[in-house]
Amino acid sequence: MNQLNLESIDTDGALRDTAEATGLDRGAFLKKSALAGGGLVAGGAFFSHLGPAEAAISRRKSRTNDKRILNFALTLEFLEAEFYRLAVANRAFGTNPQLQRFTEVVARHEAQHVRFLRKALGRSAVRKPTFDFGAAVTDPATFARTSQVLEDTGVSAYLGQAANIFQGPILTAAATILTVEARHAAWIRFILEPADPTTPVPALPSPRTFDRPASERRTLRKAAPFIK
């Protein structure tokens, strides 16, 4: 297989950001992610069974586009649900009771998000991808850091699609999940770094005045290292 050049697809650094957040150096990241022909392809990996025209979310609002957005959301929820399911099964929280409580509660939330979106999409729902989280679902420190990355990614992803949603009920449904994901992101931050006068601002449970929306492309790039 022909090895892809990391810099050619990771132009905004999102993949490397994720690698660093999960404790991987560049060499380990390339090996783990299998960035080669037939392996991970940033952006398109999630929707390999759909044609490009079907998969890409448009800025032109329509019912069809809403379906694409919901499938995009479902794919992210598949990722999170499987991540936390495996973390619970492997006791990735270690001996930390706060991290255990977080993991078990969030695992239920994410599984329910998947069921909700699958029901909403019916036969139009995308298939669940295959994931490989490596040490992120066995090692407590790696698990906690990866959880923060995924929760932050989920918040930005939902926010990034808000302006593209056509139907009011779809927007409301997405917002009900977005606010929960934001609470998850704050919760894991507090576990990693309990807020006190010495906590640096980026580590605070609520580090910014305004959250940043993320595009479909950037979101999928961040999640790509976990997709087989």
Q: What is the DSSP string of 99-146?
A: HHHHHHHHHHHHHHHHHHHHHHHGGGPPPPPPB--GGGGT-HHHHHHH
Decide if pLDDT at 202 tops 50.
Answer: yes
- 16 domain-assigned: yes
The 10 Å Cβ neighbour count of residue 169 is 10
Distance (Å, rounded) from C-alpha 179 to C-alpha 185? 10
- 22 domain-assigned: yes
User: Domain residues for 109?
Assistant: 6-226
pLDDT of the residue at 79: 94
- 215 domain-assigned: yes
- 1 domain-assigned: no
**Residue 146: which pLDDT band, with cuts at 50, 70 and 90?**
very high
- 88 domain-assigned: yes
Distance (Å, rounded) from C-alpha 132 to C-alpha 223? 11
| pTM higher than the cut 0.85 | no
Distance (Å, rounded) from C-alpha 82 to C-alpha 120? 20
Phi and psi of 43, rounded to 5°? 85, -55
- 132 domain-assigned: yes
**Residue 168: which pLDDT band, with cuts at 50, 70 and 90?**
very high
pLDDT, tens digit, 9 for 90 and up, residues 31-83: 444 333 333 333 333 333 433 334 578 888 999 999 999 999 999 999 999 99
- 149 domain-assigned: yes
Rg over CA atoms, the chain: 17
CATH number at residue 43: 1.20.1260.10
- 201 domain-assigned: yes
One DSSP character per residue, 11-71 reads TTSHHHHHHHHTT--HHHHHHHHT-BTTS--TTTGGGTTS-HHHHSPPSS--HHHHHHHHH
Would you call 140 exposed, middle or buried from its count of C-beta atoms within 10 A (0-12, 13-18, 19+)?
middle
Distance (Å, rounded) from C-alpha 211 to C-alpha 37? 35
Higher pLDDT, 97 or 210: 97
Domain count along the chain: 1
